[in-house]
Amino acid sequence: MIVAEDLTKKYGAQTVLNIEKLEIPKGQCFGLVGNNGAGKTTFFSLLLDLIQPSSGGITNNGIEVRKSEAWKPFTSAFIDESFLIGYLTPEEYFYFIGELRGQSKKDVDALIGGFEDFFHGEILNQKKYLRDLSKGNQKKVGIVASLIGNPEVIILDEPFANLDPTTQIRLKKILKDLAANREVTVLVSSHDLIHVTEVCERIVVLDKGVVVKDIETSPETLKELEAFFDN
């Protein structure tokens, strides 16, 4: 379970995140939505100990993330291309991540071999560095790399952005398959309300850093979210 309690992040006099309490049970596919500046990436950055909270904290499976690194072996993420290593090829990057996560090249090959449709012939055996790939193809690499090593917690920030429609459809299937495994907790932020309601069983809306809605996904969820953001 992931628990954020009395969590705030301030920059000077501006409070960009203020969450009194938020619990994400193990095995949940959790969606985070909100307009630009709502605090989505800030929350994920705090969860990954990329920035420090102004007050409060987050625990990941009982481990306070800012005080221990014991959460790292079972947690993975792709936030943006800064997570990549530009001078590596996709294959080299996958093997590097695999080594960090105790996976052999054979293990990594077996995993990435299952994503040929997702890669659409544009990633493997192209003899290109990651820095030379399009934003969409960089995202494909980062998403698949986040699955290496059988993580228990997977965090994806705006995974649908910069992907073509075919790849978005394939990504939704990947996320649904992950969600079907009740041992894996998946956190997804997105501006795309349609995609997130199709994939996530629970959706939290952030507005100016505050949780304003916490919804169990139903056939009416998309209309409810559209009505909220239309006001």
Out of 21-30, 176-185, 191-200, least confident range:
176-185
**Mean pLDDT confidence for 161-181:** 89
Q: Is residue 62 part of a domain?
A: yes
The predicted-structure confidence for 135-160, as pLDDT tens digits, reads as follows 999 999 999 999 999 999 999 999 99
Q: Is residue 92 part of a domain?
A: yes
The pLDDT, as a whole number, for residue 224 is 93
Concatenating the DSSP letter of every residue in 21-36 gives EEEE-TT-EEEEE-ST
Q: Is residue 125 part of a domain?
A: yes
Q: How confident is the model at residue 24 (pLDDT cuts 50, 70, 90)?
A: very high
Out of 66-70, 169-173, 179-183, 199-203, least confident range:
179-183
Find the domain containing 13 and state its range.
2-171+184-230
Tally the domains of the chain.
Answer: 1
The pLDDT, as a whole number, for residue 230 is 85
Query: Are 74 and 153 within 8 A, CB to CB?
Result: yes
Q: In the predicted model, is pLDDT for residue 73 greater than 90?
A: yes
The pLDDT, as a whole number, for residue 179 is 82
Q: Is residue 177 part of a domain?
A: no
Q: Is residue 18 part of a domain?
A: yes
- The per-residue pLDDT of the chain, averaged, comes to 93
CATH number for the domain that contains residue 137: 3.40.50.300
Q: In the predicted model, is pLDDT for residue 183 greater than 90?
A: no
For residue 153, what are the β-bridge partners?
75, 185
The predicted-structure confidence for 120-133, as pLDDT tens digits, reads as follows 888 998 889 999 99
Q: Is residue 76 part of a domain?
A: yes
Q: What is the DSSP letter of 51?
A: S
Rg (CA), the chain: 17
**Mean pLDDT confidence for 175-200:** 90
Query: In the chain, pLDDT over 70 holds for what percent of residues?
Result: 100
**Mean pLDDT confidence for 214-224:** 94
The pLDDT, as a whole number, for residue 57 is 95
Q: Is residue 147 part of a domain?
A: yes
Task: Report which of 165, 3, 9, 166 is spatially closest to residue 71, judged by C-alpha positions.
Answer: 3
3-state SS of 133-167 is CCHHHHHHHHHHHCCCCCCCEEEEECCCCCCCHHH
Q: Is residue 179 part of a domain?
A: no
The pLDDT, as a whole number, for residue 231 is 77
